[in-house]
């Protein structure tokens, strides 16, 4: 049933879901590798653990600000953006 519903979603929404899942997976992998808890991550970015749980259990609507805070707190980039000339500006 889920896959049937997914087929009816626009390509842009599917892409958004894929990107969200990739970000969630990256955050979980980094936390595990570093032996860091969601609570510790929440403290580092100044939010409560409930917000981290919401982000990691569904399809969050990350903002650029939240991604920057998460990347800084995790000590690793979550996204990479290229400028129009093709050189990396953010890793």
pLDDT of residue 89: 54
- What are the pLDDT digits (tens) for 25-75? 999 999 999 999 999 999 999 999 998 988 888 768 889 999 999 999 999
pLDDT of residue 71: 96
The sign of the dihedral angle between the CA atoms of 23, 17, 61, 2 is negative
**Cβ atoms 21, 59 nearer than 8 A:** yes
Residue ranges of domains in the chain: 36-81+87-91
Neighbours of 55 (CB within 10 A): 22
**The model's pTM:** 0.79
Check whether 2 has a pLDDT greater than 80: no
Class for domain 36-81+87-91, per CATH? mainly alpha
What string of DSSP letters covers 64-80? HHHHHHHHHHHTS-S--
């Amino acid at each position: 049933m889920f896959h049937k519903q997914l087929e009816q979603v626009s390509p842009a929404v599917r892409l958004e879901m894929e990107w969200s899942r990739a970000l969630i997976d990256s955050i979980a992998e980094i936390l595990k590798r570093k032996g860091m808890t969601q609570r510790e991550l929440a403290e580092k970015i100044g939010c409560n653990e409930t917000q981290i749980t919401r982000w990691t259990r569904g399809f969050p609507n990350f903002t650029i600000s939240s991604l920057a805070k998460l990347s800084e707190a995790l000590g690793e980039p979550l996204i990479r953006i290229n400028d129009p000339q093709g050189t990396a500006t953010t890793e």
